[in-house]
Amino acid sequence: MFGKLFENVRRKAPLIHCITNYVTVNDCANMLLACGASPVMADDCEEAAEIAGICQGLVVNIGTLNTRIIPAMTAAGRRANELGHPVVLDPVGAGASRLRTETALLLMEEIRFAVIRGNMSEIRSLAGAGAATRGVDVNLADRVTEENLAKAVAFAMEFAQTSGAVAVITGAVDIVADKDKAYCIRNGHPVMSAVTGTGCQLSALTGAFAAANPDLPLESAAAAVCAMGLCGETGYKRMGDMDGNASCRNYIIDAMYRLTPRQLEEGADCTLWDGEVRRP
Amino acid sequence: MFGKLFENVRRKAPLIHCITNYVTVNDCANMLLACGASPVMADDCEEAAEIAGICQGLVVNIGTLNTRIIPAMTAAGRRANELGHPVVLDPVGAGASRLRTETALLLMEEIRFAVIRGNMSEIRSLAGAGAATRGVDVNLADRVTEENLAKAVAFAMEFAQTSGAVAVITGAVDIVADKDKAYCIRNGHPVMSAVTGTGCQLSALTGAFAAANPDLPLESAAAAVCAMGLCGETGYKRMGDMDGNASCRNYIIDAMYRLTPRQLEEGADCTLWDGEVRRP
Amino acid sequence: MFGKLFENVRRKAPLIHCITNYVTVNDCANMLLACGASPVMADDCEEAAEIAGICQGLVVNIGTLNTRIIPAMTAAGRRANELGHPVVLDPVGAGASRLRTETALLLMEEIRFAVIRGNMSEIRSLAGAGAATRGVDVNLADRVTEENLAKAVAFAMEFAQTSGAVAVITGAVDIVADKDKAYCIRNGHPVMSAVTGTGCQLSALTGAFAAANPDLPLESAAAAVCAMGLCGETGYKRMGDMDGNASCRNYIIDAMYRLTPRQLEEGADCTLWDGEVRRP
């Protein structure tokens, strides 16, 4: 099924509006092009809604948040909502500052998100669980591992229910959940955390998958997470003994450019959670 | 002749002031360095005119336009005009939002541009031809092809006459025109449209060529288009079977770093338009 | 000793807050990750002090300065000062515009910097020596060479005394000085000046070394300069005959990812200045 969802991205070539941070914006643009979508970045309040209106999906990312662009985020989000286009939130650094936490919460009030993607500290901070995000990185205590997976899945499903969005919590194991079910994904490689922006790129990619498959937000998000993870694996395998995180960054995007729907279908390591859901 | 124009870039190492979008700004800086020029990016109204004054050329690019930097664009443009330095406009996304279209038109009123470079949808929107730009991409209906080339050339010459700038319209065939003559350029490769920022880089490069050859705006622009196209060809040829758009991005800039005036002279596929000019 | 200082970076993985320009910000983030630190970029006044408070070091870089972020710089700087965390200033383009020169001087009044790193034109402009910086590049007349080294060292020590910060002046020979002693460093390669952002990356790296070794600002800065220079050498050596500045950019960051404390210890070409100090 993930192969089919990816085929839709390639065939429909959705135009994705990103209001995103200036650290990783170039990588997000190239990742969108690599998967077959087209990026357009526009963060001024004067044009945000209009640009959202000509696109098929919107990605809101609060890395390097500044107060000037918050109204652009809400205006674009509302327009996308009116049109029924999926909106993805990447709450970069929520829990690390009051501005980020409060802005993310404000956006969740103003906009109906199809997907919210972050690390466990970021998502916990949006759930009022009092996380202390380590800058833009997950706090050590919050890391999702095989050991605490049941609890993390339950939290993700709870968050999905409360927020109304598909919850994507990335870590050593990635969780993609709505209120009724959850997928656990074990693609990816630790080197990805040494490449700035792999999370942002995944959020952009999730926007492309959701826009091309608007009726399947849960499966679209899971497919995007698997695709990104597979590209991380390919990127890592390609590294020679002089390569580091800069070359790996290129290899990951290259891998998406080369990834076929069939490879995604076959390489996706995604299992439906069927363990006990221990509600928090 | 293009070889000589390129030699002037390498020899004079012009300092190019860019007010440009944050998506592709790093690539623009490295492309300028690759061709032998030096970049300086400055977008605050408090310093824009002063920075323009120490540079030999200015490139104004409205991707990720925000209202804060419009006065910086006009101030820098006026100062460059006073000094007789060439100013290049890249109207990224004109036709996709009212802010972009109107800002580009405002800039054309306030500043005398040596060159205006965009895709056909963007340039049509500036000519009042009612284009609907697809984000930052050309609208399918507007694409320049061998079939509609005569009409496109006529449009470019008309636009050059009206605007007073050399018109550079890039596509499968690139057109570089002033009011009296037009060149058609067939360098380049389709993979360039999968690399974010190749258009922005070309605009920056055009600024460098124009600044190093201030009396020859038409030929400078044509030389820059050929140089960029050749680098796209070289970048594509260098791609191995694991490479995608991220590696290609590097290869294109690398190719400019390695390009010699002689290679440009010999590789340029640029012909003077001598067909009928069908005025629109 | 430099090996030990680098080990501390890898072991402590300091979180470094960067308020930096949008041209080279992605490279700064990947360079910080490559050396073992973690980046967080935050430039809004509403969160700058708070983010500074959760980090171990702060890097303030005035490339693409805009007036909106100056209060964020001072707020973050004061907070870091209160906490005793090292703050690095990179006065990009000081001397090229009044805004940059005056802002850098203002920051030096408001914030106690551990290290100030720039090229000779930038540092001269902060010393009131009336430099005319060539955009973001050193003015030809200001270049540090073996011939004018004694004078440059004396100037650096004087500047360190006046400013209270370790002075890092980079060029063909790099000088790292406090008021009492100076190191001359001869690592690096000229190709680095064809890669945008190598200076910014060094400033970010200096922040990481200073944060991991807060009691040794002079030696930390010298170690960072040697490490960056070694990576420039490695990057250059790795260049094949199709590679240019874009690939070199990746190779430099890759080299930092691969650099070991032992390689730094053995490869550092750093000598204590023991010539006559000719006070200017």
Which residues of chain A does C22 touch, with a Cβ-Cβ cutoff of 8 Å? Answer: 22
Burial zone of A192 (CB within 10 Å; 0-12 exposed, 13-18 middle, 19+ buried)? buried
Q: What chains are in contact with B, requiring at least 3 Cβ pairs below 8 Å?
A: A, C
Q: What is the pLDDT of residues B197-232, one digit of tens each?
A: 999 999 999 999 999 999 999 999 999 999 999 999
Nearest residue in chain A measured CA to CA from C44: A66
pLDDT for A277 equals: 63
Which residues of chain C does A196 touch, with a Cβ-Cβ cutoff of 8 Å? Answer: 26, 29-30, 33, 39
Three-state DSSP class for residue B155: helix
- According to DSSP, the residues that pair with B40 across neighbouring strands are B17
Length of chain B: 280
Reduced 3-state DSSP string for A93-129: CECCEHHHHHHHHHHHHHCCCCEEEEEHHHHHHHCCC
pLDDT for C278 equals: 54
Neighbours of A105 (CB within 10 A): 15
In this structure, what are the phi and psi dihedrals at residue C177, rounded to the nearest 5 degrees?
A: -140, 140
pLDDT for C280 equals: 43
Q: Biggest alpha carbon distance in chain A?
A: 51
Three-state DSSP class for residue B68: helix
Q: What chains are in contact with A, requiring at least 3 Cβ pairs below 8 Å?
A: B, C
Neighbours of A121 (CB within 10 A): 27
Q: Is B258 on the interface with C (CB under 8 A)?
A: yes
The first and second tokens of residue C197, run together, are: 């952002």
Nearest residue in chain C measured CA to CA from B29: C196
DSSP-H helix ranges across chain B: 2-12, 25-35, 45-54, 70-83, 98-110, 120-126, 149-163, 198-212, 217-238, 245-258, 261-267
Contact flag B253-C246 (C-beta cutoff 8 Å): yes
**DSSP sequence for C109-140:** HHS--SEEEE-HHHHHHHTTS----BTTB--G
Which residues of chain B does A234 touch, with a Cβ-Cβ cutoff of 8 Å? Answer: 242
Neighbours of A237 (CB within 10 A): 11
pTM: 0.97
The first and second tokens of residue A131, run together, are: 């996380």
Which residues of chain A does B249 touch, with a Cβ-Cβ cutoff of 8 Å? Answer: 30, 250
Answer whether A205's CB lies under 8 Å from A227's CB.
Answer: yes
Tens of pLDDT along chain C (280 residues) come to 999 999 999 999 999 999 999 999 999 999 999 999 999 999 999 999 999 999 999 999 999 999 999 999 999 999 999 999 999 999 999 999 999 999 999 999 999 999 999 999 999 999 987 777 888 888 888 999 999 999 999 999 999 999 999 999 999 999 999 999 999 999 999 999 999 999 999 999 999 999 999 999 999 999 999 999 999 999 999 999 999 999 999 999 999 999 999 999 999 999 999 876 655 4
The first and second tokens of residue C233, run together, are: 């050498």
Length of chain A: 280
Nearest residue in chain B measured CA to CA from C69: B44
- According to DSSP, the residues that pair with A87 across neighbouring strands are A58
Answer whether A96's CB lies under 8 Å from A86's CB.
Answer: no
In this structure, what are the phi and psi dihedrals at residue A33, rounded to the nearest 5 degrees?
A: -65, -40
Name the residue among A41, A255, A257 with its Cβ closest to that of B64: A41
Nearest to A172, CA basis, from A140, A141, A144: A144
Q: Is C39 on the interface with A (CB under 8 A)?
A: yes
Residue type, C252: I
Name the residue among A54, A253, A256 with its Cβ closest to that of B135: A54
| B98-110 vs B70-83: helix crossing angle, rounded to 10 | 30
In this structure, what are the phi and psi dihedrals at residue A234, rounded to the nearest 5 degrees?
A: -60, -45
Q: Is C260 on the interface with B (CB under 8 A)?
A: no
- The complex's ipTM works out to 0.96
Mean pLDDT of B249-265: 98
CA B68 to chain A, closest CA, distance in angstroms equals: 9
Nearest to B164, CA basis, from B240, B233, B113: B113
The first and second tokens of residue C139, run together, are: 């003015």
| CB-based contacts of B7-11 (< 8 A; 24+ apart in sequence) | B7/B261, B8/B212, B8/B213, B9/B35, B9/B36, B9/B37, B9/B208, B9/B209, B9/B212, B9/B213, B10/B35, B10/B36, B10/B261, B11/B36, B11/B212
Restricting to C residues 151-190, those with a Cβ less than 8 Å away from any Cβ of A are none
Contact flag A26-B196 (C-beta cutoff 8 Å): yes
Q: Is A210 on the interface with B (CB under 8 A)?
A: no
pLDDT for B74 equals: 98
